[in-house]
Chains A and B, each alone.
Chain A
Amino acid sequence: MAQQCSDWPAALPTRSQESRGQIRSRMKDSLTLLHRVSAHPDSRCWFLAWNPTGTLLASCGGDKTIRIWGKEGDNWVCKSVLGEGHQRTVRKVAWSPCGNYLASASFDATTCIWMKKNDDFEMETHREDSMDRKRKTCLDYRLYDSAERQGFQKQCVTTLEGHENEVKSVAWAPSGSLLATCSRDKSVWVWEVDEEEEYECVSVLNSHTQDVKHVVWHPNQELLASASYDDSVKLYHEEEDDWVCCATLEGHTSTVWSLSFDQSGEQLATCSDDRTLRIWRHMTSEEEQGKKDPIWKCVCTLTGYHNRTIYDVHWSHLTGAIATACGDDAIRIFEEDTGSDAVQPTFSLTAHMPRAHSQDINCVAWHPKEPGFLASCSDDGEMAFWQYQRPE
């Protein structure tokens, strides 16, 4: 059953000085519910990640497990449960650019790397034969794990240790040879993986003064961005064989929970406990050409749309739409107004789904191949799938 999107709120949201958006008068039907799935029952569902081809969705939760989901016909089916890796909540998962590896960040202070053994689910028949053989030989029936069947190794390939406490996020660089993790211990770690699948710590960055909530890589450069409880966003790049913080983005007045680059990597969306969504732009000018450190400026602040903390933001690389996950249980979509000035862009709210979930929404994730297809997950343990259509 499709849910209707709400009518335009009675009170107009306030605008910041930096942004004067157009008012959209029609938002009905722009966001439609397709499916709702109980992903991590009796627990929180913390994060969702689509694999690069969009055939699989990884979810992770407070029940310490990672689940791999795939579509079978009209249904979302759990293809794998990776439950042997972590001792505590799994907070984030991330697929490698090649799609063969999954990294998971946990409150148990470790990051696990899982390897997908086969990438062809159509080979299931063959798999089952070997599984039957295994079933005959293994002594404990519980050792037969659906993970094996669906092609994920039951044990994680590598465990990355070093953080002093909860790992909050993990992200893979577009090259596939670098990984970043961040933690409540205020540090950001950069890891390098070689051809032999060995991971080595390349740098430990102590630039933030508080809990680091999220890390993301630039879509096409080796530039790393982190968001923190210290209200700032920091950017890092490699300089003379060492990683350094090359920029600090200040403006939010409370914890920055998440961040997302647009497709070009020239813009960055950040969301915060201060209930605003900010858009930052990479400034390039002739004078800056020679300088090593990039300059980023806040070019738009969206205030008044969210009633609670904004926990996640995701910028679609297909359509340019920005989705937000909010503590008021609603999903919102924003789009840049056509013809708006690149240096002073304006954005409008194009969809608003209140009560999208029954509790705080922790994550929103655009499908990498299907325009407008969105997944969300919540503290209520559920994940939901939506179709977004930009209103006329």
Chain B
Amino acid sequence: MECADDLFGGIVMCEERYRGEGYEEGFAEGKHIGETEGKQYGAMYGARAGSELGCYLGFASTWRLLLLPTTDEKQRKKIKILDSLIKMIQSFPTEDPTNEKLQDDLSRVRGKVKQVCSILNVQPDFSVTYEASGLSF
């Protein structure tokens, strides 16, 4: 029946309209929630990265300055390794968490730090526990 079809079509159109209105309202709200949530997680991850990398940078830079320039081959080796660690950290993509190589680069930096500590014969404790957030690095 023609009138029934039209009526049905009208209902469907109606449903779509309501769904659409709801969607738009929800989308705006969701965006706000997502941004806030995302920012919260991002801030924690960023804090960890900044803290860790900053620490390695400070450590390496300071030791680099404490090792006086010398002709001693062993000392020169140490300086060379420190320089390569500093360079590695300075070229780390700190601004971009979506960088695919992030995890690999971080592993390489951590490995280099361990090597540096080994050749300097020191065992610093770089771990930090943040009670509030329950994060420990």
A and B touch in the complex (CB under 8 A): yes
For residue B112, CB closer than 8 A to chain A, the reply is yes
For residue A207, CB closer than 8 A to chain B, the reply is yes
Cβ contacts B102-116/A at 8 Å (1 or 0 each): 000001101110110
In the complex the two chains form, is A204's CB within 8 Å of B119's CB?
no
Please count how many residues in chain B sit with their CB below 8 Å of the partner chain's CB atoms.
12
Q: Among the listed B84, B114, B117, B119, which residue makes an inter-chain contact with A187, where contact means beta carbons less than 8 Å apart?
A: B114
- Tell me, rounded to whole Å, the shortest Cβ–Cβ distance linking A188 to chain B: 9
In the complex the two chains form, is A206's CB within 8 Å of B108's CB?
yes
Task: Tell me which residues from 89 to 130 in chain B have a Cβ below 8 Å from any Cβ of chain A.
Answer: 107-108, 110-112, 114-115, 117-119
Most buried by B among A203, A204, A205, A207: A204
How far, in whole Å, are A206 and B114 apart by their CA atoms in the complex?
10
What secondary structure prevails in chain B residues at the interface with A?
A: helix
Tell me the nearest residue of chain A to B107, going by C-beta.
A206
Q: Which residues of B contact A201 (CB under 8 A)?
A: 114-115, 118-119
Tell me the nearest residue of chain B to A203, going by C-beta.
B115
Tell me the nearest residue of chain A to B111, going by C-beta.
A204
In the complex the two chains form, is A162's CB within 8 Å of B118's CB?
yes
Q: Which residues of A contact B112 (CB under 8 A)?
A: 204
In the complex the two chains form, is B118's CB within 8 Å of A187's CB?
no
What secondary structure prevails in chain A residues at the interface with B?
A: strand
Task: Tell me which residues from 184 to 230 in chain A have a Cβ below 8 Å from any Cβ of chain B.
Answer: 187, 200-207
How far, in whole Å, are A161 and B119 apart by their CA atoms in the complex?
11
Q: Which residues of A contact B111 (CB under 8 A)?
A: 187, 203-206
Q: Which residues of B contact A162 (CB under 8 A)?
A: 114, 117-118
Q: How large is the interface on A (under 10, 10 to 19, 20 to 34, 35 or more residues)?
A: 10 to 19
Q: Which residues of A contact B119 (CB under 8 A)?
A: 200-201
In the complex the two chains form, is B110's CB within 8 Å of A206's CB?
yes
Task: Tell me which residues from 51 to 69 in chain B have a Cβ below 8 Å from any Cβ of chain A.
Answer: none
Q: Which residues of A contact B115 (CB under 8 A)?
A: 201-204
Task: Tell me which residues from 98 to 138 in chain A have a Cβ below 8 Å from any Cβ of chain B.
Answer: none
- Tell me, rounded to whole Å, the shortest Cβ–Cβ distance linking B74 to chain A: 8
- Tell me, rounded to whole Å, the shortest Cβ–Cβ distance linking B102 to chain A: 14
- Tell me, rounded to whole Å, the shortest Cβ–Cβ distance linking A226 to chain B: 14
Q: Which residues of B contact A203 (CB under 8 A)?
A: 111, 115
How far, in whole Å, are A200 and B81 apart by their CA atoms in the complex?
12
- Tell me, rounded to whole Å, the shortest Cβ–Cβ distance linking B109 to chain A: 9
Q: Which residues of B contact A205 (CB under 8 A)?
A: 111
- Tell me, rounded to whole Å, the shortest Cβ–Cβ distance linking B101 to chain A: 13
How far, in whole Å, are A201 and B123 apart by their CA atoms in the complex?
14
How far, in whole Å, are A201 and B111 apart by their CA atoms in the complex?
11
How far, in whole Å, are A162 and B114 apart by their CA atoms in the complex?
7
- Tell me, rounded to whole Å, the shortest Cβ–Cβ distance linking A205 to chain B: 6
Q: Which residues of A contact B108 (CB under 8 A)?
A: 206
- Tell me, rounded to whole Å, the shortest Cβ–Cβ distance linking A53 to chain B: 33
Q: Which residues of A contact B84 (CB under 8 A)?
A: 242
Tell me the nearest residue of chain A to B117, going by C-beta.
A162
How far, in whole Å, are A32 and B84 apart by their CA atoms in the complex?
56
Q: Which residues of B contact A202 (CB under 8 A)?
A: 115
Cβ contacts B22-64/A at 8 Å (1 or 0 each): 0000000000000000000000000000000000000000000
Q: Among the listed A200, A207, A242, which residue makes an inter-chain contact with B107, where contact means beta carbons less than 8 Å apart?
A: A207
Most buried by A among B77, B84, B112, B114: B114
- B residues sitting closer than 8 Å to A (CB atoms) are 77, 84, 107-108, 110-112, 114-115, 117-119
Between A and B, 16 residue pairs with Cβ closer than 8 Å are A162-B114, A162-B117, A162-B118, A187-B114, A200-B77, A200-B118, A200-B119, A201-B114, A201-B119, A204-B110, A204-B114, A204-B118, A206-B107, A206-B111, A207-B107, A242-B84
